Structure formats: structure tokens, C-alpha cells
Amino acid sequence: MGSQFSQKKPRILCLHGHGASAKFLENLEMKRWPEFVLEEMDLVYIDAPFVIDPSRHIEYDPPYYTWYKIEDDQSFEKAVAYIEEQMIKLGPFDGVLGVSQGGGVTATLPGMQRQGVALTKVPRIKFVIIISGPKLGATTLPCPELAKNAFSSPLDIPSLHIIGERDKLKEDQFKLLESFVNPTLLYHHEGHGVPHLDDNGVKMVLGFLKEMRRILFHSRGGRSKMCYYLDLIASLFCFKKNRGIKLTNNARVRSLI
């Protein structure tokens, strides 16, 4: 039974940032993480539905995509419908990972699914990993009409938020952090985008994935509930012993890399 638990990888849908692509996220950005970390996840990358022209010099080849157009709420609705189509086609998925604009979109999905206004044809999203993702409706990106109530109450879903100390957009990312119940924060010294991971960062990401695998295992009828609660208590004890920066909300800071 233990081997069954250890072999099950969470299947994760990956959403790139504005002006990027699935290929860019997979072959360039995520390659900053060690291969043995990536091997702990079953990652599926998709392109956003809208092609755009580059607004600045970009050092990688086109095409360039965006998830929605700021001035067009219908484009967001089309993007969410497109994401659901891809989840049906390529899933089922356990979680969603998003970077920058893709991270902001990712954060809205559990809330819209909870309200029954989106992703009604796919299984419930179990967790999210948000890298440099701002809260839609803060100062960086407006909130489309479909997602206006996504954060009407804190989202009670496991979340890992990866925020850079030198990211000029980090304030909106901290606002997003406050929209989740007991979020986990990886606060690093780099800027916007997917960071490199040092030893502490690796331990944190692997620890989060291990916790998600345990949750998924139990949800599929794995070990007894007693074992689950014992593990949960042990995990909470470990969280308290980890040092990090102090925040006013309930975020668990596992490392500053």
C-alpha cells in the first residue's frame, strides 16, 4: 500500500504567462527546477487560446499567447471554457499550476467552480500552485465579470504561492495569498517568473507535493482516516518548526530561498 501511495503522481494542468506559450513554460521556465522535482509531477502544458503580437523585445520564438484581453470580458469567458475543454480532453487533473497571468487565472478557477459558474463538467480542483500570480481585480489586472465573486470568501483549497522579493508586482500577489485559507508561501530572492530552487526551495516544493499526494491517496480510499489525521498532525507540527518571514495572515512560510 505504501508503494501505491509513493508511485502516484499528481496530474497538473500548467498555464503559462501573458505573451508566453506552453513550449516556453515547459522548455525554458520550468527547466529552472531540478529534474527530480519535475519528475514528482505529471505536468501537462497547454497554450492559451488567443495569439498576440509581442509588445516588447522577446528573446524567444513566436507564437505568443494570452489567456484573455483586458478590455474584453468575453475573452475571459472563452478562455475558461477552453480550459474546461482541455481538462476534459487531457484530464482528469488533480491540480493547476499557473505563472504570472496564468497564475492569476489559475487562482480564480476553484472559486468559480465552487460557485458553479465554471468548470462544471470536470472533477473538483484539489490544489493550485501559483507562481508570480497576481490577484485579478487588484492593481495589475482587472477582474472579469465571470470571476468577480471567485474570492467572495477565502478558498479552502491547498495552495502553494511562489513570490519573488524583487518582483515589482509582488504586492498584488500577497493580496492573492490572503484569498486562500492557510496558504503556503515560498518567498525567494529573485524577480518575476519561475525561480531557481536552492536546497530549501526544493525541500519545500517536494514537501507540498508529498502532502498533495497523501491527500489524493486518502481521497481515493487509501489509508485509514486515523493514519491520515496522524500524518496531518505531524505535518502541522513540522510547519510550526520551520522558520521564515512573519506575515499577518495565516500563510505558512516554509523557506526564503
> Residue 108 is which amino acid?
T
Other Cβ atoms within 10 Å of 197 Cβ, number: 21
User: Cα separations (Å) of 65 from 18, 48, 54, 178?
Assistant: 6, 5, 9, 28
Tell me 157's DSSP state: S
- pLDDT of 255 > 60? The answer is no
Instruction: Give 140 or 97, the one with higher predicted confidence.
Output: 97
Confidence of residue 244 (pLDDT cuts 50, 70, 90): very low
Contact 126, 94 (CB under 8 A): yes
Q: What average pLDDT does this structure show over 120-131?
A: 97
Contact 195, 170 (CB under 8 A): no
Task: Give the pTM.
Answer: 0.84
Integer Rg of the chain from CA: 18
CA 244 to chain centre: 21
DSSP string, 126-139: -EEEEESPPPTTSS
pLDDT digits (tens, 9 = 90+) for 187-236: 999 999 999 999 999 999 999 999 999 999 877 665 444 454 555 554 55
Residue 66's φ and ψ, nearest 5 degrees, are -140, 155
- Please state, in angstroms and rounded to a whole number, the distance separating the CA atoms of residues 165 and 171: 10
> Residue 212 is which amino acid?
M
Nearest to 65 by CA among 76, 74, 54: 54
CA 255 to chain centre: 17
**Strand (E) positions, the chain?**
11-15, 42-46, 50-52, 64-66, 95-99, 127-131, 159-164, 184-188, 252-256
pLDDT digits (tens, 9 = 90+) for 69-90: 988 889 999 999 999 999 999 9
Q: What is the mean pLDDT of the chain?
A: 86
| Domain residue limits, the chain | 2-256
Which CATH architecture best describes the domain 2-256? 3-Layer(aba) Sandwich (3.40)
